[in-house]
Amino acid sequence: MAVFRESVPRDLPGKMMEINWSLVLLLALLGGIGIGMLFSVGGGSWEPWAGKHAIRFALGITGMLVIAMFPPRFWMGMSYPIYAFALTLLIGVEFAGVTINGSQRWIDLGPIRLQPSEIMKVAVVFALARFYHDLPTEKVSGLGGLIMPAIIIGMPAALIATQPDLGTTLLLVATGGCVIFLAGLSWRVIVPGIVASVIGLGWLFTYGLQDYQRARVMTVLNPELDPLGAGYQIIQSKIALGSGGFTGKGFIEGTQSQLNYLPEKQTDFIFTILGEEFGFVGGIAVLAIYALVLANTVIIATSCKSTYLRLLSMGIGATFALYVFINVGMVTGLLPVVGVPLPMISYGGTVMLSVLAGFGLILGAHIHRNATPPSGTGFLG
């Protein structure tokens, strides 16, 4: 395994001083907004969502800072084992998963329900970053640089698709594609890949989707075709967003949430509730915070001397960006409803903890940004 040569503080106080506290503050702000919005959709009560969200957020922030303290050589050594562990959990879902609302996505561990697909989003980035770190630059655009990444992405994507969870499947594939692109894939490969993807999506829509999934896609074009069925969520979401106007109706004053017109208001449609209560101004403010988080991530990634840390940071940042893009596009009617939560704000323990764990790795990359692995190493070298 490659060993990093580091010129960074090795003691705990020194590393704490090196943490990008502006990024921590932005994440804390998003978590606080999430607690507030879940308090609102609970009718001004800490139960059933806000209190649990606050506890998970506190645990997640603590875990994030702990993860940031570990040196990159530790995470390099753990990259493939973490991927294998996440893949094992996904296989376990097939045999012992809990079914909720027709989808078998969770493993019941007693006090908590674990969603392995959320862990896999980070695990895929781990594995791809390690793979491309070990791969010589001249081989990135060759078959050796594509076959193994396709397997790394394809195995969990196939398992998640059978749950069924179309949103997470697409997000996982898109994240993997971003890492492959950032690794330096040639445009001679990218362009045919885009053409093949368009053809593949056409085939998937015609033959690969279940009827309710196909209906969700068609609903984007005209939700009024089925206002009480497939189009109901989008119609109610648009009504709520529109009724918020420029400044909103006020905290805990949203009619769509308080009168339960909007399904999954605590998870997939939390941004709709935010828009209804705080209007256009509130929605833009939250999106601005997300943009600042992503800007910090890009700055950290580009400052890293190591390919592994750059790809790890950018891959996790891409996952986060796709979460936001898909969720906001979904609730505004620009994308199909595919069940992707809004990170740090939507209710969901596994999502919250996996996102914060990912940012722990990004904070660690910032601390160890000057770490450089020796050249000419790796099992494909």
Q: How far apart are CA 101 and CA 52, in angstroms?
A: 21
Residue 281 is given by DSSP the state H
Q: State pLDDT tens for residues 44-101.
A: 888 888 999 999 999 999 999 999 999 888 888 899 999 999 999 999 888 877 776 6
Specify the long-range contacts of residues 169-175, CB closer than 8 Å, at least 24 apart: 170/326, 170/338, 171/121, 171/319, 171/322, 171/323, 171/326, 171/340, 172/117, 172/120, 172/121, 172/124, 174/318, 174/322, 175/121, 175/124, 175/125, 175/315, 175/318, 175/319, 175/322
Go through the chain and tell me how many residues it has.
381
Task: Name which of 6-20, 57-71, 136-150, 202-216 the model is least confident about.
Answer: 202-216
Task: Name which of 74-78, 242-246, 252-256 the model is least confident about.
Answer: 252-256
Asked whether the bond before 263 is cis by omega within 30 degrees of 0, the reply is no
Task: Name which of 2-6, 336-340, 351-355 the model is least confident about.
Answer: 2-6
In this predicted structure, the answer to whether residue 329 has a pLDDT above a threshold of 60 is yes
CA separation, residue 275 to residues 40, 178, 232, 244, 336 (Å) = 13, 30, 18, 6, 19
CA separation, residue 97 to residues 79, 108, 196, 198, 320 (Å) = 25, 7, 33, 32, 26
Task: Name which of 68-82, 153-167, 174-188, 256-270 the model is least confident about.
Answer: 256-270
In the numeric block, which tokens belong to residue 45? 């009560």
State residue 376's pLDDT score. Answer: 40
Q: How many CB atoms lie within 10 A of CB 247?
A: 12
Residue 5 is given by DSSP the state B
Residues 6 or more apart whose Cβ sits within 8 Å of residue 169? 157, 160, 161
Q: What are phi and psi of 107, to 5 degrees?
A: -115, 125
State residue 117's pLDDT score. Answer: 87
More confident residue, 187 or 290: 290
Task: Name which of 5-14, 97-106, 307-316, 340-349 the model is least confident about.
Answer: 5-14
Residue type, 172: L
State residue 209's pLDDT score. Answer: 63
pTM of the complete model: 0.85
In the numeric block, which tokens belong to residue 149? 């990444």
Q: How many CB atoms lie within 10 A of CB 21?
A: 12
CA separation, residue 160 to residues 98, 105, 106, 164, 295 (Å) = 14, 8, 11, 6, 30
In the numeric block, which tokens belong to residue 247? 């400044």
In this predicted structure, the answer to whether residue 2 has a pLDDT above a threshold of 60 is no
Residue type, 85: F
CA 177 remoteness from chain centre: 14
Residue 11 is given by DSSP the state S
Q: State pLDDT tens for residues 101-146.
A: 666 777 877 667 788 888 899 999 999 999 998 888 777 776 667 8
- Looking at the DSSP bridge assignments, the partners of residue 99 are 104
Q: How far apart are CA 239 and CA 123, in angstroms?
A: 38
In this predicted structure, the answer to whether residue 374 has a pLDDT above a threshold of 70 is no
In this predicted structure, the answer to whether residue 212 has a pLDDT above a threshold of 70 is no
Region 365-372: mean pLDDT is: 85
Looking at the chain, the whole-number percentage of residues with pLDDT higher than 70 is 81
In this predicted structure, the answer to whether residue 245 has a pLDDT above a threshold of 70 is yes
Q: How far apart are CA 67 and CA 74, in angstroms?
A: 10
Task: Name which of 27-36, 88-97, 260-269, 345-354 the model is least confident about.
Answer: 260-269
State residue 269's pLDDT score. Answer: 87
Average pLDDT, the chain: 82
